[in-house]
Amino acid sequence: MIDAKNVTITDSEWEVMRAIWTMGQTTSRELINAMDELQGWSDSTTKTLLHRLIKKGAVEQIGESRPFTFKPVVGEKESMSAAADDLFDHMCAMRAGSTIAQVIKTRELSKSDIEELQQILAEKAKDAPEMVDCNCLPGKMTCEEDS
């Protein structure tokens, strides 16, 4: 299984992946139609993206006779986590908390999602530091306070 960590999915490709992940398995026709409906893309656009994804190892083609079938090679959860990690990696560590807070506020979460998060937080609270250092500049420990 290819590690999502090693596959960088661009914005447009992401849209394709979402469709593929949701369909689980699909033919190019189905996918092309879905992307047309979802994004108004021409056939070629979807085909190109699909091929780039195959080349990257995010999707694979199966079957030997022509209407081939395509299925995801990288997992959705793993890819999402990898993307989120990537994002937080280039943000100031000191502010990750408030960013997460903002995300939680604006996203819809189910009861069980919330319970899971509470569970994780309770665990994490046990040995949480008083403060997180700013890792933006060498020697700098804290950022200015935000406006």
Partner DNA sequence: ACACTAAGTCTACATCTGTAACTTATGTGA
Partner DNA sequence: TCACATAAGTTACAGATGTAGACTTAGTGT
Residues that bind DNA (CB under 7 A): 8, 10-13, 27-29, 39, 41-42, 44-45, 47-49, 51, 61, 65-68
Could you write out the DSSP letters of every residue in 10-57?
PHHHHHHHHHHHHHSSEEHHHHHHHHHHHH---HHHHHHHHHHHHHHT
Q: How far is the CB of 139 from DNA (least distance, A)?
A: 20
Q: Which does 44 bind (CB under 5 to 8 A by kind): DNA, its own copies, none?
A: DNA
* Residue 102, CA atoms < 13 Å, CB-side half-sphere: 5
- 3 state DSSP class of 79: helix
Choose the contact partner of 45 out of its own copies, DNA, none; CB within 5 to 8 A by kind. DNA
Instruction: Judge whether 72 and 16 are in contact, CB under 8 Å.
Output: no
The minimum distance between CB 16 and DNA, in angstroms, equals: 9
Q: Which does 132 bind (CB under 5 to 8 A by kind): its own copies, DNA, none?
A: its own copies
